[in-house]
Chains A and B, each alone.
Chain A
Amino acid sequence: MKNKNGEIGKAKSRLTALEKVTGSAKYAAEYNVPDLLYGYIVNSSVTKGKITALDETAVRGIPGVVDVLSHNNRPSLPWFDVMYSDMDAPPGSPFKPFYDNEIKYDRQPIALVVADSFETARYAAAQLKVTYETEDFDVDLRKNLDDARDPSKGLATLIKPLPPSPKGDFAKAYGEAAATYDGDFRHGTEHHNPMEMHATTTVYEGEGKLTIYDKTQGTNNSQIYVSNVFGLSYSDVRVLAPYVGGSFGSGLRPQYQLFVCVMAALHLKRNVRVSLDRKQMYTFGHRPQTVMKARFGADAAGKVTAMHHKAVAETSRFEDYNEVVVNWGNILYPAQNTLLEYQLVPLDTYTPIDMRAPGGSTGMHAVETAMDALAYDLKIDPLEFRLRNYAERDVSEDKPFSSKELRECYRQGAEKFGWAERKPEPRSMKRGNRLVGYGMSSGIWDVIALPARAEAIFTKAGKFIVKSAVNDSGQGSYTVMTQIAAEQFGISTEEMTFEYGDSEHPLSPIQGGSYTTGVVGSAVKAACKVLKEELFKKAKRLKNSPFADSEEDAIYFRDGKIYAADDDTVFVNLTDIFQNEKEDKISVTKSNVPNPLKLKQYTRAAHSAAFVEVEVDEQLGTVNVTRAVTAVAAGNIINPKTARSQILGGMVWGISKALREETLTDFKTGRYVNPNLAEYHLPVHADIHDLDVIFVEEKDEIINELGAKGVGEIGLVSMAPAIANAIFHATGRRMTEFPIHFEDLVL
């Protein structure tokens, strides 16, 4: 069917824009439902051990306190792990809040104080007297590297594969290489810190029926979790999340504020809200501290021949969180002798959780530093060196790429940035008293395919509605889904209604991994296609229908009509279909299930190239990213305006990762010592300068129905290594630890 109106590819302002700028967008903690109770969570003050006593007397005496819930008096809970599982649960045994008196990690939630006001709940929570029996613990990754072991396999390792087997003879090739690089890398723990703190408002509708406003990346995920844990029917639990104030992975799993809020609402048969405070935002998942080794070797012609990349990351004692850290290098650069290793060290922390560009942003630091170092060693321009090692085919899996326009990213990015102006020698460029450096890096992120469902509706009043449970925490999914749906019917985005963020709508996977546009968008497209077929069938059956004998390829949809492809004067008004209908709407629901046999034949990835200029003041140890260009090949860009913002956001995250953010651990107490936005450093406006984004044209007919690869992570992966490489160019010093501290740079 032919479309005359192209909504896909238009730079549209996000559809929630007016609500967001006027303050009328409501987030999870902003539903001021009647007779609302406020819960405040008490967290453990020890890292490991047992609660021996929990004295509630003082708390219960405070006027306004309604109840105190803990392992002592919690309602009955299921015992089996599987009931606590969720769409993103790694292999292991999920954490069960308030289950027993055992403390597994610092600031574990142990009690909930419920009161008639927020202030009373907070005050009362501080009065709870808890005594503990402490046990020895360990949260120091580097001290426990000897305990590293392979990760357990499970559902998570299907989406996030473990490293491929060794190939060729790494030791021999590395020994014979004309140039080698051997580096040890580390980055600290990081926390997502979305601006909106996690919160849940539970409306008790009576008879075990709940409406829940939750901060989540998956309304279905929260719904299934709550239903399973509390023994409620799925149809009695409705989870809504129309606005989510950022998440970056923190909302991939149902977090404990949801659990305790629902528990209190069911127990008290009241409406309850539980919001975490900022300190509590550091108590349920993080990017795991990771140490890496990279040993790369190249021949005299500048071809990488040997590649060893090993990563050891922390996980909790109860779940094996894994991410793809070491697989990327050999997809990008076709070395024939590789040794890729990934291991975990269980520690007394909470289980890590995916955080924007999980694994990729960690691994690429080592890969791209090693590549840069080899280029300098061989006196080859770093960009030229990457071109000499350009993979036309993924040798790590021996597969073709479904599409790959990285070469064009290099070319357009370098040109826009002015890479040719770079002087090859380190420390050769200056501006006033500051050293200037140019650095670049490649980037890669995989294209994940998953099943999803969507419903498409046409009403008697002539309205198009498409529904999916999918979230939008700022990525722009609501807007791009509306564009995709509108395009199918040849109407404008403004004429299409897309309903989302509601667990009652057709099932969507949790939103993450840059796959939402491709995965949910394909389901939207599939549902619209079925609705079009249905509408056409009915149009054919109309009395005197001009299309009685027409085939689908002889018509197209536009502006609420079906037109003959070869004659604009021949059409049927879609609303006329209802002359023959009993119902006042026509509705279809369709699943889109990717074909794994077809997809498996290809390596599917988005690519990027980042070019960065830094200024380094060696007297003060400060680094300023003065300008940067990121060129991205991510297939079809549905909305260049919101996609550009995604890449800009990723670039800011790259600046943050390289130069700012880190959660510091006191190994003696097992405690994060900077759990607040003053001491957990994020870039501020004054840190951000000239950032530019290029989308290069890329066609992909393999990955999904839309040819869209997603842009959530790809802007981040190349940015941080490019900054480190630019600092090398400026100073002659390799930056192998993130974030880079000023003491790493002072003379």
Chain B
Amino acid sequence: MKQTEKKLQYQTTLIVNGKTEKLTLPAWVSLLDALRHHLDLTGTKKGCDHGQCGACTVICDGKRILSCLTLAVAKDGSEIKTIEGVGSKENPHPLQRAFIEHDAFQCGYCTPGQICSALGMLEEGEAQTLEEIKDSLSGNLCRCGANANIIDAVTEVKANHYE
């Protein structure tokens, strides 16, 4: 039986936060679980595992994606940016600073997804008005109800760094 199991493992290379990670994974491992269980990058959160809450948002080859709906093996060779790669405690990204300043979270569980989604949105550069920004970030749920503070943080970063 072990033999069969071995055959179903795939060599997968992911470039995560600039670091090349060579993984041997069964095909059914989501990118989210690969990050959390295999690379100990637990900053990316699991809120539903069904693409309904946005907590698992990461940036893959420059685009924000839901890592729970993505199989890790399907991203062989891709560049993945997770919250750990957005900024560090010593040198936080302006979005991370703004989230602290505006108290844009309470429990902090949706926060990495909110920040990655906001970063993706700002890099995409499509959402311009307040309503467009809110719409563009509405895939990221926040049960603590920090919505207003999140939007304030993002619009401030957009005004100061992306205009």
Contact = CB atoms under 8 A, between A and B. Distances in A.
A21 B115 contact: yes
B107 A652 contact: no
B110 A678 contact: no
Nearest to B130: A689
A119 B109 contact: no
B134 to A, nearest CB: 4
A688 interface: yes
Interface string A267-291: 0000000010110000000000000
A545 B111 CA distance: 52
Interface in B115-163: 115, 131, 134-135, 137-151
A23 B83 contact: yes
Given A474-B106, A677-B141, A20 B48 contact: no
A278 B41 CA distance: 21
A649 interface: yes
A23 B112 contact: yes
A146 B55 CA distance: 44
A30 B44 CA distance: 10
A149 to B, nearest CB: 34
B67 interface: no
B22 to A, nearest CB: 18
B138 A685 contact: yes
Given A22-B43, A22-B88, A677-B48, A195 B96 contact: no
A208 B49 CA distance: 33
A322 interface: no
Given A30-B36, A32-B40, A641-B103, A25 B131 contact: no
Which residue, of B83, B105, B110, B148, has the highest number of chain A Cβ atoms within 10 A? Answer: B148
Interface string A22-55: 1111110110100000000000000000000000
B148 A691 contact: yes
B62 interface: no
A648 B108 contact: no
A22 B83 contact: yes
A193 B100 CA distance: 24
Given A19-B89, A119-B29, A683 B108 contact: no
How extensive is the interface on chain B, given as a class? 35 or more
A705 interface: no
B87 to A, nearest CB: 6
How extensive is the interface on chain A, given as a class? 35 or more
A646 B109 CA distance: 16
Contact of B146 (A17, A29, A645): A645
Nearest to B47: A195
Contacts of A27: 42, 45, 109
A649 B150 CA distance: 12
A118 B33 contact: yes
A227 interface: no
Contacts of B45: 27, 195-196, 245
A517 to B, nearest CB: 14
A644 B48 contact: no
Contact of A677 (B37, B50, B96, B112): B50
B28 interface: yes
Contacts of B137: 685
Interface string A678-692: 100011111110010
A677 B88 contact: no
A25 B108 contact: yes
A375 B86 CA distance: 54
Contacts of A63: 1-2, 4-5
B138 A26 contact: no
Nearest to A651: B145
A746 interface: no
Contacts of B46: 29, 197, 275
A163 B121 CA distance: 52
Which residue, of A25, A652, A685, has the highest number of chain B Cβ atoms within 10 A? Answer: A685
Given A32-B40, A64-B5, A278-B49, A644 B103 contact: yes
Nearest to A192: B143
Nearest to A689: B148
Contacts of A687: 147
B52 A677 contact: yes
Shortest 10 CB-CB distances between A and B: which pairs? Answer: A23-B43, A652-B145, A245-B109, A474-B107, A20-B108, A649-B145, A474-B106, A23-B83, A30-B42, A684-B138
29 contacts: A18-B96, A21-B92, A22-B86, A22-B96, A23-B42, A23-B83, A23-B84, A24-B84, A25-B108, A27-B42, A119-B33, A195-B107, A195-B143, A196-B47, A277-B49, A278-B49, A645-B103, A648-B145, A649-B144, A649-B145, A649-B146, A650-B145, A676-B48, A676-B50, A677-B52, A677-B141, A682-B141, A683-B147, A686-B131
Given A245-B109, A648-B145, A649-B106, 7 more contacts: A19-B108, A22-B92, A26-B42, A196-B45, A644-B103, A646-B106, A685-B138
